[in-house]
Amino acid sequence: MNSLEVVLKFFTSGKPIFIYDSYSREDEVDMVYHASFITYREIYSLRTIAGGLICYVIPYEVGVKLGLKFMDEILNAAGLEELTMKRLGYGDKPAFSLWVNYVGVKTGISDMDRALTISKLYEVTELIVKGYVDEGRKLFYKGFMSPGHVPILMSRGITSRRGHTELSEALTRLAKLTPATVIAEVLDEGYSMPLSKAKELAEKLNTVIVSSKEIIEAYIKSPTP
């Protein structure tokens, strides 16, 4: 694994970095960008190199200010508890909220369309984080539709949940960037890509890989997490 200092240097320069959670959790690697650097080229890379679901990550507190709920809460309110009561092997509640499209897209799924949706979501996130909550909410409700092709994930924070959603958000805090990332699982033929192969991929792409342990330890030690 690479040092966190090196990882942050790559992350803040717009390069994709890779995050490995742990053998005891999903045992998966995600490809991660800070959301401010997303263009259609980064979506193409996430789609063709990583291959997993491309998601937009925000902190839970940003979601709350936008009036969002976790998808399991929405489904429970609709009387679908029998679907939401089950858990995957690692046991955590899912981080999914709404799936959205920006109103200016054509179909929502192309690299250009998803990049546009994400760039507009980032504008909303920046407004909320900077305290312009009314403006952020207005832009969100006027500019987006749901369901769409970009799933929003809400981070519960690294002290409550240690998935790639929370790990990537913690990385933004350590980097002192607006807390918004775009992530996708790295897949291999048939299964998730093993860590050994993901390390080779990171080296091939001239980028870096970091473990959950390194992020968590740095975050806990950080004076202003």
List, by residue number, the catalytic residues.
30, 55, 90, 101, 149, 185
Q: Which long-range contacts (CB under 8 A, 24 or more apart) does 34-38 make?
A: 34/172, 34/175, 34/177, 34/180, 34/181, 34/182, 35/118, 35/121, 35/122, 35/125, 35/178, 35/180, 35/181, 35/182, 36/122, 36/177, 36/178, 36/180, 38/115, 38/118, 38/119, 38/122, 38/182
Question: Helix crossing, 164-175 with 4-12: angle to 10°?
Answer: 80
